[in-house]
Structure 1
Amino acid sequence: MLFHPHGKSYIFAPLLIILLSACTSNPALMPTPNLYVSTPYSEAQVPKNLHNTSMELLYVTDRAISEKEGVMYNASRSPSIAYGVAKVNFGDKSLQWSELLKQSNLKNRSANLTYVMETADELGRFPLSPYKFRRVKNKLQIDEDILERKIFHETQLNKNINQRLKNSNNKDVILFVHGFNNTFNESVFTLAGIWHFLNRQGVPIVYSWPAAATGLTGYFEDKESGQFTIFHLKETLRLLFKNPEIENIHIIAHSRGTDVVTTTLRELIIENRASGGNPREDLRIENLILAAPDLDFGIIKQRLMAEQFGPAFGKITIYTSQEDSALGISQWLTNSLSFGRLNTKDVNINEQDIFTSVGNVSLIKVPKSGSLIGHDYFHSDPAVSSDLINLILHKASPGSKKRPLQKLENNFWSLDSNYLIKNE
């Protein structure tokens, strides 16, 4: 066998792709969180105009438009940002709201709740990037026509957000950034389930980047597309930051999506501080949730912790699992410590002190997943999804009555599989 300095990547790329394909989500409503098995999911908490089986989610994407029938966007890259409304429903056309309520309280469901994408209606498209610019008196300015079109689309997207905020008890946005090998539809379906169990409060927005490339090099193509999308995600976040109607932003990122999100936020935080701002006040990101992060912990320390990343957010929550086989292979291939498999012994005294001084970082060790791969537990495990819901919906702190986590060493907490299940 010929030796190659990166031979592990070539030999085990097919295995990595198979394992990390676990990022793809089941096209059915996620399992009922433990939270609602014990305390029924109540329509009284859901805005009245949302008492129906269908769900509308806003989306932003830089995927190319698909030529395949029934698929709106594919895994190729687009140089422009598109935005629109995705309408999700269930395959059973006879399903009523009352039946969906009933099934949303059952651990073992009696109905088929498989998703269908009814429509994906693109409402607008930003100018092509990079934007044409020119130098005016030693300052760089975007071309006036491009800037005018850019502002128009920012305004239109924010109008759509504000219309939906009016129907919500809270004025928050939930932004989801998916991981490797997720199609556009799968990313929408994942957030649809989470938003449903968040009592359909706030405005759900899917940021869908060009993932799900096919073939043996799919993982590596997706990884590069994650870098391609950074500018477009920055533009998306900037327009949210400028919207005064939004009170809080909750960002949920999964797997490779955590690299997309943290790289983007790092640049925005540095930009904000350089202009004399306060990112905690200006960005209004209440929760940054990193689920099964496919990140190198060594890079996290030097690019995020060293840049004083943490104080820019209300809470940072990292869900980790030693049983995550997908990240285990990724860790072995890169010969690095994966953030998503971090353990108490992996954090030295200096890092412990930094986590403690920041005061808003929680690392949650989740129970062993029932699935073979154990990578999509943030929505497929009823205990973990319950914790995520209580974090966002009730702003509960770890170890509180609503979030009965067990304190371990340092900033680590343990989440039991019976989380929020009441004893009979």
Structure 2
Amino acid sequence: MAATSNSLQKYSVLDPSRMPLLASFHRLPRFLALAGILLAFNACAGRPGPDILKVVSTKDVRTKEVAIYTATTRAKDEKNDNGFSTGRAEDLNYAKYTISIPPDHKASTIEWPKGKPNAKTDFVVTSQSTLTAPAFNKDVVVQQGKRRPVGIFVHGYNYTFQESLFRLAQMAADANIDAVPVLFAWPSQGALTGYIADRESVLYSRDYLASLLISLSADQANGDLILFGHSMGGFLIMETARQLKLEGRDDVLSRLSIVLAAPDIDADVFRKQMDVIGKMKIPLTLLVSKDDRALAASSFLDADHPRVGRFDIDDPQIRETAVKYGIKVVDITSVKGTDGLGHDRFVSLAKLYPQLASLDGAKANRSPAQVGAFIFDAAGATIASPFRLVSKVVSPQ
């Protein structure tokens, strides 16, 4: 390092014009690594287009169906009546989709159509309807029954609307429990080059997510609101929670069970957010992986600022942070992902999703260590009740 420093000093004195070139060579391996990560992001087969949302008949096919309620800041897709575009809407749009799950569905997988959608082998939409805000709220409440939880999924960066919709359908189907899934879809560009635009769309969507949470929490027929965010969706959730705190809406925050999977949040920003939000009635849970390569790329783009989703729970400072803010940090590094980057491990934990209603820190008969004690197998693919701790969990004592 000293030799490199001396060389830089030499060139800065003798020939300042050479400094940018030298710096670019110094950073070249990192740019190549970033390029490799971005290529891996885009290595999947052709992504499904909006035509995937066309209604398909399931006549004569015995399938499982999942009803997904959607609140979105995406504008309506003028080319596809059933979908939403990358544009930003001025008001929340509401819809309901029924997704059919094929009989031979494999957990953690979305069986995308390879040709014409077929309910026997593929995820397909069997019905779709546009809802007004009152109809949306009423319909979700009607589905509740006896104070069942509402599970709200907030997707991450580089998602299309149809991908976020089918991802939630997959998680709800794998969970196989009676809960009401709600998708909050913000206007991601659904493109690798859209990272900055996506961050702006997240900030644009804060008021709308807060409005949705206020509306859902107002009806006491609803159980706790499980707010599950992936990647950049975690940033949106934290910004919304901070906003609710500043607005004095502790009544809403007390109903929230927040789980952030691989959150794409600057670690310093997260601490400032928690300084405002404070310890939550239901402890906030982080699902982290110290080898998440997608978040490594995000950190690179952010001048090497560490990301929350790459927290190392063996780091004493992380343990201190967990205790200070009353959060639980769950290391899921051993969980097998499907994207080659370690960024989508949450998909394999779908069975965790409905059980999040059990993260009720307000119950007097539960200690912090018992709240949110998850059962994972070696691949982190299963969960059952009663809970016992197999993963590493840091809980406030």
TM-score w.r.t. length of structure 1: 0.67
Tell me if structure 1 keeps the 8 A contact 2:244–2:253. no
Q: 2 CA distance for matches of 1:238 and 1:115? A: 32
Taking a change above 3 Å as real, the CA distance of residues 249 and 22 of structure 1, as seen in their structure-2 partners, is farther
Q: Which residue of 1 aligns with 2:215?
A: 239
Structure 1 residues 407 and 187: CA distance shift in structure 2, 3 A = closer
Question: How far apart in 2 are the matches of 1:189 and 1:219?
Answer: 22
> What are structure 1's unaligned runs of at least 5 residues?
28-50, 125-152, 274-278, 413-424
- State how 1:13-412 maps to structure 2 within 5 Å: 17-20=38-41, 53-69=64-80, 72-90=83-101, 99=103, 113-124=121-132, 153=133, 155-166=134-145, 170-214=147-191, 217-272=193-248, 279=250, 281-304=251-274, 306-309=275-278, 311-334=279-302, 335-348=304-317, 352-353=319-320, 355-356=322-323, 358-371=325-338, 372-379=340-347, 381=348, 384-392=349-357, 397-398=372-373, 402-406=386-390, 408=392, 410-411=394-395
- Give, in whole Å, the separation in 2 of the partners of 1:339 and 1:394: 21
SS in 2 for 1:315: coil
Q: CA deviation at 1:170?
A: 4.6
Distance apart, 1:296 and its partner CA: 0.9
Q: 1:20 to 1:234 in 2, by over 3 A?
A: farther
Equivalent position of 2:56 in the other structure: none
CA deviation vs aligned residue, 1:279-333 (integer Å, no higher than 9, x gap): 2x544435211001111111111222x2243x22413211111221111111122
**Amino acid in the other structure paired with 1:385:** A
Provide closer, same or farther for how the CA distance between residues 399 and 19 of structure 1 changes in structure 2, counting only shifts above 3 A.
same
Q: Percent identity?
A: 23
Q: Aligned partners of 1:2 and 1:68: how far apart in 2?
A: 50
1:270 CA drift (Å) = 2.2
Deviation at 1:258, TM superposition (A): 0.5
Cα gap change, 1:226 to 1:60, in 2 (>3 Å): same
SS of the aligned residue for 1:218 comes to: helix
Note closer, same or farther for the CA distance 1:158–1:405 as it changes in structure 2 (3 Å cut): same
Q: Which amino acid letter does the alignment assign opposite residue 206 of structure 1?
A: L
CA–CA separation in structure 2 for the residues paired with 1:355 and 1:106:
29
Distance 1:104 1:15, change over 3 A: closer
Give yes or no for contact 1:288–1:313 (8 Å, CA) kept in 2.
Answer: no
Change in CA separation of 1:61 and 1:407 when aligned onto 2, cut-off 3 Å: closer
Distance change >3 Å, CA 190–CA 116, structure 1 → 2 = same
Cα distance in 1 between the residues matched to 2:166 and 2:70: 12
- CA distance in 2 between counterparts of 1:355 and 1:363 reads 11
Separation in 2, partners of 1:364, 1:403: 17
| Cα gap change, 1:359 to 1:11, in 2 (>3 Å) | closer
CA distance in 2, matches of 1:263, 1:250: 16
Q: CA deviation at 1:178?
A: 0.3
Please list every run of 5 or more consecutive structure 2 residues that lacks an aligned counterpart in the other structure: 1-17, 49-61, 112-118, 361-370, 376-384
Deviation for aligned residue 1:344: 2.7
Distance change in 2, residues 1:18/1:79 (3 Å): farther
Contact 1:24 1:182 in 2 (8 A): no
Shift of 1:183: 1.2
* Distance apart, 1:174 and its partner CA: 0.4
- What secondary structure sits across from 1:272 in the alignment? coil
- CA deviations over 1:66-107 (Å, ceiling 9, x no partner): 1334761111111111101012124xxxx6xxx46xx67899
Q: Measure the CA separation in 2 of the matches of 1:354 and 1:360.
A: 8
Give me the CA root mean square deviation.
3.8
Query: Offset at 1:234?
Result: 1.4
Q: SS of the counterpart of 1:303?
A: helix
Distance 1:3 1:258, change over 3 A: farther
Post-superposition shift, 1:343?
Answer: 0.4
Q: Is the contact between residue 25 and residue 186 of structure 1 (CA under 8 Å) also seen in structure 2?
A: no
Q: Distance in 2 between matches of 1:317 and 1:341?
A: 14
- SS of the residue corresponding to residue 121 of structure 1 reads strand
Cα shift at 1:375: 1.1
Q: Distance in 1 between matches of 2:43 and 2:155?
A: 12
Matched residues, number: 332
* Structure of higher RCO (CA pairs closer than 8 Å, 6+ residues apart): 1
Q: Is the 8 A contact 1:378 1:385 kept in 2?
A: yes
